[in-house]
Amino acid sequence: MNLPHTAASDTGKGLLAALAVVFFWSGFNIVSRFGATASFTPFDIAAIRFGVSGAIALPLFLCLVPRQDWLKHAVLALFGGVGYCTLVYTGFAYAPVSHAGVFVNGGIGFWTIAIMAFMTGFRIPRQTVVALLLSTSGLLLIGYESLMLNRGGDEWIGDLLFLTAALTWAVFGLLTRRWQIRPQLSVLGIALFSAVVYLPIYAWCLPSQISGASWGAITLQAVYQGVVIAFLGAGLYSYAVQKIGAGEASLMLALVPAVSAVGALLILGEQLGITAVVGIVVVSIGAMLGALPPGKLNWVAWFGAR
């Protein structure tokens, strides 16, 4: 008798978790931008993230995760940890953060829906397709000036890396839901296995400028990248995927560039053009539509039937 209430409660919790991820990832853009101008290479930032999160995760992972599940956690780390982060941080060396907002956050929704469509024989609810189109259109409007008016010779490399990173995160989200890995455990596996794979390579051959950074800058990156994003961000995204679905959670991430733009206006005084404002409205509508269970809005079905 309490099943409908329980389902509604789970949906609400999933939406709150997804919204929290939006705000965490919006802060990630700002912190990463600061790191890029504070004597760090992209490889330094990844090393700080994996070093801190891996050290925290090691004893907890060994105590809480059964050995028969270690392989699954290693696969999740390959996609949602070292693979995703390495691609994103390397992309920052070629393209600005605004491009990451469009191609990563928009790409995650695109790839997730595309993979789900392929796996289900292209039976995707019309409401989800409309939400994806709205979110993508809004993201392109938000990033219009950066994408269209200030093209650099190598920016396409960064954009391609961002799109590939979005694919790895989409696979991570889908595998987490398929394997029903508890969010609390998935973040431990990502942190530990990413550190095991990445840190030896970083120490051996990747360029570093971390010795010239201040302790304040290192601490900021360590806390935000190694704790907030590695544990809270990844864990809450896994939780949201299991509660509301991979497609719905991924479409919510389209709000990240919009929230980042508003935060830049309020905190940094960066002005928004009319195109960006329209984009924020459009992407917000698309994200909210995508987060609702299919069939909740009758006008979508009515519009598609016209």
What pLDDT, in 10s, does the model give residues 8-41? 577 788 888 888 888 887 777 667 766 665 678 8
- Dist. CA 110–CA 130, nearest whole Å: 12
pLDDT of 130 reads 77
- What are the residue ranges spanned by the domains of the chain? 8-305
Burial class (CB in 10 A: 0-12, 13-18, 19+), 75: middle
Average pLDDT score over residue span 202-211: 88
Percent of the chain at pLDDT exceeding 90: 19
pLDDT of 50 reads 93
- 79 — pLDDT class (breaks 50, 70, 90): very high
- 273 — pLDDT class (breaks 50, 70, 90): low
pLDDT of 1 reads 46
Q: How many CB atoms lie within 10 A of CB 265?
A: 14
Average pLDDT score over residue span 283-287: 71
pLDDT of 200 reads 94
| Long-range own/partner contacts, residues 205-209 (CB < 8 A, 24 or more apart) | 206/41, 206/43, 206/47, 207/41, 207/43, 208/41, 208/43, 208/44, 208/47, 209/39, 209/40, 209/41, 209/44
Q: Is the pLDDT of residue 70 over 80?
A: yes
Average pLDDT score over residue span 82-97: 80
Listed ranges 82-96, 259-273, 292-306; the one with the highest mean pLDDT: 82-96
- Look up residue 44 and give its two tokens: 């330094």
Return the closest-CA partner of residue 95 out of 43, 44, 46, 154. 154
Q: How many CB atoms lie within 10 A of CB 188?
A: 29
- Dist. CA 139–CA 27, nearest whole Å: 18
Q: 34: Cβ–Cβ under 8 A, 6 or more apart, which residues?
A: 217, 220
What pLDDT, in 10s, does the model give residues 41-51? 878 888 999 99
Listed ranges 5-9, 34-38, 146-150, 249-253; the one with the highest mean pLDDT: 249-253
Cβ proximity of 230 and 53 under 8 Å: yes
